[in-house]
Structure 1
Amino acid sequence: GLSPLALNLAYVLVKAGRLAIVDQMAEAYNAFADDRLGIVHARLSSAVPIGGEEQGRVEQWLEEYSGKKVVLESTIDPQLLGGLVIRMGDKVFDASVRTRLERLKRNLLRAGGGA
């Protein structure tokens, strides 16, 4: 069951017509708890499914980078030509084929004098 404090909070929210913010409160609490426990969430997007071993390597690298325990969620993004994109907090690690091709194009244009 819920603690009396939690029940009282629910009562106050209902009385104030603010029950709709319960989801936001839960998200904020979870973010606070994760921060206190040293947990960070990341999303890996790829054009094709990533195998368990590869995902484990990405997770390990992110943990070394962040110094926190990483909870990695994988999604398939059919708009990616290949490679992967990782979002972790406000950081984006873009190792997609599209980004690599754009960098190559910029470098070639720069080397060729913009022609």
Structure 2
Amino acid sequence: MSNVAVANRYASALFQAARGKGTLNQAVEELKAMKEVLKTTPAFAKYLANPKFTKEQKQQFIQSSFQGTLSLEVVNTLRLLVDRKRTDILVPMIDKFVALSYEAQNIAEATVYSAKALTEEEKSQIAQVFAIKVGKAQLLIHNVVNADLLGGLKIRIGDRIFDGSVKAQLNRLERQLVTGTR
């Protein structure tokens, strides 16, 4: 079985457990924090993958490090991944869990590329307008400043892209002028 399929199964099991206990949002935040720890602390991921340390040592480390800061479901999932020697699927499992959670809550993530940083008010307005366009109850906006943009916005929601950049508008105008349509 591929790692993606295995990651999806673990994510689905954790999703069912967290939803059953009503801790879905908490688990999402905890797993996002865990993913950030894995990205910023490569030694942690190396430790989990290192065969020199026993399963018991790794589980004890997880228990002592995360007990009280992470929910029981998340800690138990981490311990299970260590027990089954599946820590390599931790990041894909987190991504799938977050996707399942957002889908269940009718939430989508949007990446907004802009020439300058957006204010919270601008992010809120974009979220309101584009949530309706994509049929979601809520959009979570992540702003990326792109100095190559002259102006306007480029918004990516899932596999959809809304390009309102100045360059895209000029390209559309050029096509209209060339073809003679308005």
TM-score of the superposed pair, with normalisation by structure 2: 0.54
The question of 1:8 aligning with 2:80 is answered yes
Quote the Cα distance in structure 1 between the aligned partners of 2:157 and 2:116: 20
Change (3 A) 1:53 1:45: same
Q: Which residue of 2 aligns with 1:78?
A: 147
Number of aligned residue pairs: 108
AA of the residue aligned to 2:120: G
The gaps in structure 1 that reach 5 residues or longer are none
Distance 2:80 2:129 in 1: 44
Q: Find 2:128's aligned residue among 53, 60, 71.
A: 60
1:20 to partner: Cα distance: 1.4
SS where residue 49 of structure 1 aligns? coil
Gaps of 5+ in 2: 1-66
More helix per residue? 2
Question: What is the correspondence of 1:36-51 to structure 2 with a 5 Å cutoff?
Answer: 36-51=104-119
Q: Who is 1:20 aligned against?
A: 88
Higher relative contact order, chain-length normalized (CA < 8 Å, sep 6+):
1
Moved more, 34-43 or 61-70: 61-70
Compared with structure 1, are the counterparts of its residues 21 and 9 closer, same or farther at alpha carbon in structure 2 (3 Å cutoff)? closer
CA distance in 2, matches of 1:110, 1:24: 46
Q: CA deviation at 1:10?
A: 2.8
**RMSD over aligned Cα atoms:** 2.0
Aligned-partner residue type, residue 99 of structure 2:
A
Which structure has greater strand proportion?
1
Instruction: Among all aligned residue pairs of Structure 1 and Structure 2, give the percentage whose two residues are the same amino acid.
Output: 29
Letter in 1 for 2:119: G
Alignment of 1:71-110 (within 5 A): 71-110=140-179
Give structure 1 regions of 4+ aligned residues with deviation exceeding 6 angstroms. none
**Higher mean C-alpha deviation, range 88-97 or range 47-56:** 47-56
TM-score, normalised with respect to structure 1:
0.82
